[in-house]
Each structure stands twice: as structure tokens, then as C-alpha cells.
Amino acid sequence: MDHTALSLIELGAVFFALGVLGRLAGRVGMSPIPLYLLGGLAFGQGGLIPLQDIGGFTHLASEIGVVLLLLLLGLEYSAAELFTGLKRSWLAGVLDIVLNAAPGALVALLLGWGVVGAMVMAGVTYISSSGIIAKVLGDLGRLGNRETPVVLSILVFEDLAMALYLPILTAVLGGVSLLGGMEAVGISLLVITVVLVIALKFGRYVSAIVDSDDREVFLLKVLGAALLVAGLASAMQVSAAVGAFLLGIAISGSTAENATHLLEPLRDLFAAVFFVVFGLNTNPASIPPVLGWAVVLAVVTTATKVATGWWAARRQGVGKLGRARAGAALVARGEFSIVIAGLAVTAGAVTDELAALATAYVLLMAILGPTAARIVEPIAKALQRKATRTETATAS
């Protein structure tokens, strides 16, 4: 069969299957993300029917999905709100590093993977998936909740920490000198600082540049600006997701509202492709040998993320139900964790078992995260009712 025809058939089948899975998820009242991941796992490397001819498109589409997820998340907040949140939540960000990096590093050392392996696994278990969390918060209608700025502040802190961590990790894996590593970190900090200043001081001008009364022109300008900023950020060793998020922060007012309504369908489409691609790139046969350690890490780091979100939300005066939602929202791991493991494997600095463990762990957390975010509210409400009945019975 002609290559183009086969590619169109495979791509059409993927999109149609996504629609079916999304409808099924809606019927049972859950986020579609776990089903997208499992669908990708079934039709990827070592799956039931491997897809061969759409790799180039799906890889790029998945990158666009992450960019759009973070862009629309940034559109929900202003630069002033971002700075206020970071000032209030920096201590929670530090606690997040300590609680969630330590389990990965410890397991790597126990398995004999050395300091480099420990450094890699620390990053894998530390960083939450901004893409998955943004999608889940949108699906559950929680973007306007009181605890959401707390979650956002921690995610931004994590992304900024990645801007320091990734250049250092790359330098360690490549045997670059200390001076070279510090230079990469300096470039990352400079880029982030410049973009933040532009967002805070000149955001109205950014909004004016991308704004337009013509929907087609507006779409092209906003999407083009997002991809341009994300690409430049990535080229300068800053996460493309961070660049897209900061652009969203810089766009404000009615321009931000219009951009959100216009981009939502595109975001949902490309974000779905992102989650499928993650599953497509995972070989099911590599998971069983390391599944035990992955489960251990999943249990421990779920508890530590929930503790981080609970503590951070409590410091901001959020009620118990909001604290529980904040903690559960942070559970998911995804794109950054896979990037970190991929860098290490490509450099040949770690064992293949580390890649398998990272994949199994992220798959578990990518399924557990959306599930925890959805079920935490009814569980918390049930516990509150039980506690109220107990207090009433005791008082009487």
C-alpha cells in the first residue's frame, strides 16, 4: 500500500479510537488520560498491532500538545499572580524537592546504579507532569478553585528547577566541565528572567501584538507565537513548556479569554496525541521485571506529593477539602520524567533497567494521578461526614 495512504489510515484510526475512548471515559465518569495511555501501549512497540507510519507526525503533535496545555494554563493567570504565588510557595517548592527526589535517588543507590543513576532517578520521581495536571484540572473544572494557584505555584517552581537541573544533568552525562555546566545554567536563568520581566512589565503590549478581531488571524498569531517562544526556549536549554506557560502569563485581559476559547479544541486534540504517543513509545515487555520497584516508588511518591500539596495549601489558608485536592492534583508524572530518563539512556551513562523502571513508574503515575485527582473529593467529603457524625455522637 502507498505510504501516504497507510499513514492516513493509521492516523484516522488513532483519532477515531481516541474519540471512542474519550466517550467511554465520559460514560464512566473518569478522565480519558489513562485510557489514552493504555491505548497507546496496546498499539506501540511490542503491542498488539504496532503502528509504523505515523511516528514523525505523532512525535511533533505530542510536543505541540504539551505546548498548548501549558499555554492555556498560563492564560488563566496574570504575571502578578504568578509572582505572588511563587513568593508564598517557595518553601513548599523546597519541601517538594526533598520529599520527592529522595525516593528515586535512594532506589537507584539500592540497585547499584551509582551517583549518576541516583541523580537521574531523583529527577524522574521529583517532577510532576504539568501537561497531565493541566488537562485534569481543566477536565474537572477546577481551574478557578482556591487551591489551584497553590498547585500552579508548585508546578512553576518545579519547571524553574528543571531549568537548572537539566543543564547540570546534561553536563554530568556528557562529561562536560564544571564551567560548561555553569554556563548552561546561567543561560537558562537569563532567558527565564527576561521572559518574566517582559510578562510583568510589558504584558499589555504582548496582548496587543497577538490580538485580532479576525478569528483566523488571531489563531495563527497566538499559535505561531506559542510555538516560536517554545522553540526558542528549548533551543536555549529552557523547557519548551516553561516558555509556552510564560507566554500565556504575558497575555492578559480579553485577549487571554478569547485565546482560551479559540485554542481549547486544538489543545484537547494535540494533548490526546501526546498521551497516546507516550504509550506508543513504551514496550510492554520491559515493564514486568521492574514493576515491583515501580509500585514501591509509586506508593511512596504519591504519599509525598499529597503531603506537599496539603501542606502548601494549608499555609495559604485553604480548607481541608481544597488541601486534599491540591495534594492529589500533584501526583501525576509524565513528559519531564521520560525526557530525563531518555537523556541518560542516550548518553549511555546508565543501565537499560533504569529506563524500564522510569517507564513503568511514569505509566503507573500517569494513570494514578488523574484517578487520584478525580476520587479525592468524594473520599474527602465522606471522611468529613464521618468525622462530623463522630463529633456529634461524642458531644451528645
Structural domain contains residue 25? no
* 264 belongs to a structural domain: yes
Helix axes 178-201, 148-174, angle to 10 degrees: 150
Q: How many domains does the chain have?
A: 1
* pLDDT tens readout for residues 228-267: 988 887 777 666 777 787 788 788 788 888 898 888 888 8
Amino acid at 274: F
Considering 189-198, 280-289, 365-374, the range whose residues carry the highest mean pLDDT is 365-374
Is the confidence at residue 213, as pLDDT, over 80? yes
Distance CA 223, CA 152 (A): 22
Average pLDDT over residues 187-210: 77
- Residue 4 falls within a domain, yes or no? no
pLDDT for the residue numbered 273: 83
Instruction: Check residues 296 and 45 and name the one with the higher pLDDT.
Output: 296
**Domain ranges, residue 61:** 31-382
| Mean pLDDT, the chain, integer | 82
How far is residue 106 from each of residues 61, 125, 296, measured CA to CA in Å?
35, 11, 12
User: For residue 232, is it within any domain?
Assistant: yes
Q: Is position 7 within any domain? A: no
The total of other beta-carbon atoms located within 10 Å of residue 181's CB is: 17
- The arithmetic mean of pLDDT across residues 17-28, rounded, is 83
Q: With 0.85 as the threshold, say if the pTM is over it.
A: no
The per-residue pLDDT for range 301-346, each reduced to its tens digit, is 999 999 999 999 998 888 888 999 999 999 988 767 877 887 787 6
pLDDT higher for 319 or 40? 319
State residue 320's pLDDT score. 87
User: Residues 374, 140: contact at Cβ < 8 Å?
Assistant: yes
The answer to whether position 26 is within a domain reads no
Taking only the tens place, the pLDDT of each residue in 96-120 is: 999 999 999 999 999 998 888 999 9
Confidence at residue 45, expressed as pLDDT on a 0 to 100 scale = 65
Q: What is the per-residue pLDDT for 48?
A: 62
CATH for 168: 1.20.1530.20
In this predicted model, which residue has the larger pLDDT, 142 or 164?
Answer: 142
d(CA 31, CA 27): 10
- Distance CA(12)–CA(356), nearest Å, equals 30
- In this model, does residue 272 exceed pLDDT 70? yes
Residue 216, pLDDT above cutoff 80? yes
d(CA 334, CA 359) in angstroms, rounded, equals: 9
Q: Is residue 13 assigned to a domain? A: no
The owner of cell 479510537 is 17
Domain membership of residue 162 (yes or no) is yes
DSSP string, 181-224: HHHHHHHHHHHHHHHHHHHHHSHHHHHHHH--SSHHHHHHHHHH
Helix (H, G, I), strand (E, B) or coil at 141: coil
